[in-house]
Amino acid sequence: MQEIKNSTNPEKTVAGFEKLWVWQKAHYLMQEIHQFCKTLPRTEDFKLKDQIERCSSSVCDNIAEGYTAYYYKEKIKGFYIARKEAGETQNQLRKLMGKKYLSPELSQNWVEGYEEVIRGINGYVRYINKKKNSKEP
């Protein structure tokens, strides 16, 4: 996955969290899911469609929030919420597959993508904890 550049002005710096591969992956998956949701029947607009759009967006949102938090505990909290939202998104993908809106192959592909995101979040939390513990007296 290549690094994201500012599309309006390539000379401008992107936000720090945008450099994290885990945010990039979560953002890519979210965009894919939102594009897919355009194909869902209108009867799902305020049911599955709304739910999966919100939880897939929340993964990226909470990674950004955790990254930009000042205190270690707040950073970790943001990443833990992002991890839970990734799990919820996986569950919503399985619901879409169960209702035959989503192929088993695509569902599996996206679920595996979120497994990668979860592993990345776990790694980043370990990094934050290590950094936090090295600063304590």
Q: Is the pLDDT score of 4 beyond 60?
A: no
Count of the separate structural domains present in the chain: 1
Q: Which two tokens stand for residue 69?
A: 């938090």
CA distance 82 to 135: 25
Q: Inform me whether the pLDDT recorded for 2 exceeds 80.
A: no
User: Do 52 and 93 meet the contact criterion of CB atoms below 8 Å apart?
Assistant: yes
Tell me the whole-structure pTM to 2 decimals: 0.86
Q: Establish if 66 belongs to a structural domain.
A: yes
Q: Is residue 42 part of a domain?
A: yes
* Residue 6 belongs to some domain of the structure: no
Q: Which domain holds residue 88?
A: 16-135
| Cα→Cα distances 64→28, 41, 98, Å | 14, 31, 31
Q: Where are the alpha helices (DSSP H) in the chain?
A: 21-37, 48-68, 72-98, 104-135
Closest CA to 27 of 41, 14, 46: 14
Q: Determine the Cα–Cα distance for residues 16 and 1; give it in Å rounded to an integer.
A: 17
Angle, alpha carbons 86-45-95 (nearest 5°): 45
Q: Residue 44: which CATH number?
A: 1.20.1440.60
* Residues 6 or more apart whose Cβ sits within 8 Å of residue 116: 25
Is residue 3 one of the residues assigned to a domain?
A: no
Query: What tokens does 101 get?
Result: 């809106």
Radius of gyration for the chain, computed over Cα atoms and rounded to the nearest angstrom? 16
Mean pLDDT of the chain: 91
| Residue 8, in any domain of the structure | no
Is 10 part of a structural domain of the chain? Answer: no
| Cβ atoms of residues 86 and 121 within 8 Å | yes
Positive or negative, the CA dihedral 66, 70, 72, 77 is: negative
What average pLDDT score do residues 88-102 get? 97
Give percent of the chain above pLDDT 90: 80
**pLDDT band at residue 27 using 50, 70 and 90 as cut-offs:** very high
Tens of pLDDT, residues 45-80: 888 999 999 999 999 999 999 999 999 999 999 999
Q: To the nearest whole percent, how much of the chain has pLDDT over 70?
A: 91
More confident residue, 44 or 135: 44
Residue 4 resides in a domain: no
DSSP conformational letter for 40:
S
Structural domain includes residue 83: yes
